[in-house]
Each structure stands twice: as structure tokens, then as C-alpha cells.
Amino acid sequence: MKAEQAINNLSEFDRGIRDSALADIAGMVKNGKIAKQKDLKPWINLHIHTFHSYNCNNWSPSRVVFEGWKTGLEYVGTVDFDTLAGLEETLSAGKCLGIKAAGGFESRVFIPEMKDTVINSPKEPGIYYLCGKGFKKKPDEQSDAGRFFNFMRETAQRRNRQVVDKLNGCLDKVRVDYETDILPLTPSGNPTERHIIEAYRKKAEEIPGDGADSFWAGILGMLEEDIRSRRIKGRAGFQEILRGKLIKYGGPGYVPPEQKHFPLFDETVRMIESGGGVPTGTWLDGTSPGEENPDALIDFLEGKGIRAVTVIPDRNYNIADEKEKKRKLEKLDSFMNVCMKRRMPVVCGTEMNKSGQPFVDDFTNSAIAQYLPYFLSSASVFF
């Protein structure tokens, strides 16, 4: 098999095909037919979503790990919303290719003590993005942790079904079926908001002629030529417009956060520890009431058993508006200084669940280069 075909096969939904492709690639690496890129540096990305939740390139855990190896990363890590479906494949691919790889999950949880405070889920008081990373194996499904992770996934899917019910009720001639149109979009039956939007986008394409443009123009309150222009520019960009208009805050498919819709923070932390993972917080950009005081936030997280924090630097330095960029970089610097002073491990990633996000941060950029040594040393908490 040729290298290009083997690499493409790494993202087939069939696990057997992926495993075979990975074995072929390992052989090609050994005999020199596949080589790492030149001018490599020991960089890090420990927060990449795979096709088990949503990856903008539809990459599997094996493909993510391979790209990490090829790029010369010191550490690579996968994370998926509400599931550990990619964990074992991530670890296996890391061993096969000889790169330090970690797997885990991310979920939105509810914090009763902060029920009136927006933290890192915009416009959603009490909701917090929490991760479990560094698992050595997937918890047995009959263990407390295993049952909890199934509950967490089922809770997320119930929210998704509510979103679809609401959208089906208002989108009229473009309706989707959760079982037949959405679940097959991910190999582990774990769709996210972006899969939901993709299903509606594909369904609208079935309208004859230019019907899709007309349909979306009516739904979004835009001119047909604007819709057509945005669709031509790229599917992913248009998908983000639909997601923002239809599912996020204020949209017809938006499900307001309630405690019953999310796992509790404390319980999730306990189950991460029970399953052998590292409870890992997240930090958005420092602009919300819940993040404006880094010391107070770290006090809270440490008191709750959080042992590391993940940041997405791209949100704070890859900004066109210079005034906004300056403000966001000051927030990042303040947060990082507090974490380093208090020895709270901080790792980073780029997510890759949205078009345009890079595979790895540019650590030659002076805005974040200073943090690379701390990111690298922090990663040891997962290995």
C-alpha cells in the first residue's frame, strides 16, 4: 500500500482498517519511506478533538497521533466531548509510532456554587468546561467510573435530541432524523452540535435547484446572494454561521442550561480520579466574571481537586484587532504568571474542531514563545 493511501485510511470509521493502516505506516517509517518533517522542534498539543466528537478534518485518534509524530511534537493528546472512545487508540498509536500520547475527554459540567456566574461557557452561568486527561486505560463499564462516563454521554445526547426536536419544529421542510441522519456521522455514535448542523446542511442540499440558498436566506434573514457567497467560500465557515444562528445562545435550537442537563463538577472530578485520570480544568480567555481573577479561580480549582489546566492560546494571540489582541494577551499573561507562581501545571492545544484552527500553536510567535518551556514541563502530570 502506498503511503498516501495508508495515511488516508487512518481515518476510516472501521477500526480494523485504521489499525492495519497504522501498522503499514509504522513499517514505512522503519524503512524510511515516511519521514518526519524538517526543522522540527519539541512542541506540544495536548488538546485535539477527533472524529469521535468532531474534528474539522475528520481525523481519527490514529491520524492525530501520526500528525503529531510527523510534526515532531514532544507530546500529543486527543480529547473528545463526553466520551473516552478514542482513548485506547490514542495510546496504541503513540506506542506504535514512539511518541508520548495522552487521551481523555471534555465535558460541560455544572457548578452549583457558581450558578449565577459566567465562567468559560459564554452566556451560560454555572457551566464549566472540564476535562479528564492522562487515563492509562478505559475504565471498565461496570465500574463506578465506567457507569458515570456512560451517564455523562447519555446526558449530552439527551441535550442534543432536545436541540434537534426544537430545530425540527421551526425549520419546516428541512427536518432530520437523529438515528439515520446524525448518529452515522461519527463512528462511536457520539455526535456534537457541529454534527447536528452538518446534518441540517446536508438535508437542505436536497432541495432542488437553488432551494438551499433560498431556504437558508429565509431562516437566517440574509440575502440569497450572501448565502451563496458564504457557501462557496467553504462548507466549514458556513457551518459555523449556522451553528451560531441556530444552536447557540438566542437561536431557535438553543437549550438553556439547567442543572439537570449537565453532570456536577464535584462528581465528575471524583469519577475522573476513580478511573485513573487527571482532573483538568480549562481556561477560556480571562474576560468573563468567573475568570477575571486568576488567583481566585486557581484557589477554587485547587480546592476542587483540579491538578492541571488546559488553555487554547490561539484565542488570545491569533486576533486581527490589535486592541482586542493586546487585551487578550494581557489576560493570558496574568493567568500564566499566577499558574507558574503557584506551580499549577498548564498545557495547551488547538482543538481542531473548527475550520481554520492550526494543528499546533506557532511557538516562534513572541506572544506565546515564553510559555513553551512551562507547557512542556507541565505535560509530565499526564505521563
Q: What is the pLDDT of residue 194?
A: 93
Residue 14 burial (C-beta neighbours within 10 Å; 0-12, 13-18, 19+): exposed
Q: What residue type is assigned to position 277 of the chain? A: G
Cross-strand partners of 258: none
Low-confidence winner among 142-151, 234-243, 295-304, 373-382 (lowest mean pLDDT): 234-243
Output the DSSP codes for 207-276: SSTTHHHHHHHHHHT--HHHHHHHHHH-HHHHHHHHHHHHTSTTSTT-----GGGS-BHHHHHHHHHHTT
Q: What is the pLDDT of residue 235?
A: 65
Low-confidence winner among 3-17, 29-43, 264-278 (lowest mean pLDDT): 29-43
User: What's this model's pTM, rounded to 2 decimal places?
Assistant: 0.94
Low-confidence winner among 11-25, 167-181, 294-308 (lowest mean pLDDT): 167-181
Instruction: Tell me the pLDDT tens digit for each residue of 67-126.
Output: 999 999 999 999 999 999 999 999 999 999 999 999 999 999 999 999 999 999 999 999
Instruction: Tell me the pLDDT tens digit for each residue of 155-172.
Output: 999 999 999 999 999 987
Q: How far apart are the first and last CA of the chain?
A: 34
Pairing outcome for strands 346-348 and 308-311: parallel
Q: Where in the chain is the domain with CATH 3.20.20.140?
A: 36-155+259-382
Instruction: Tell me the pLDDT tens digit for each residue of 284-327.
Output: 999 999 999 999 999 999 999 999 999 999 999 989 999 999 99
Residue 282 burial (C-beta neighbours within 10 Å; 0-12, 13-18, 19+): buried
Compute the average pLDDT of residues 187-193.
94
Q: What is the pLDDT of residue 234?
A: 67
Would residue 126 be called left, alpha or beta, if left means φ above 0 and alpha means ψ between -120 and 50 degrees? left
Name the average pLDDT for the chain: 94
CATH superfamily label, 36-155+259-382:
Metal-dependent hydrolases (3.20.20.140)
Pairing outcome for strands 308-311 and 44-48: unpaired
Report the alpha-carbon angle 156-160-162, nearest 5: 120
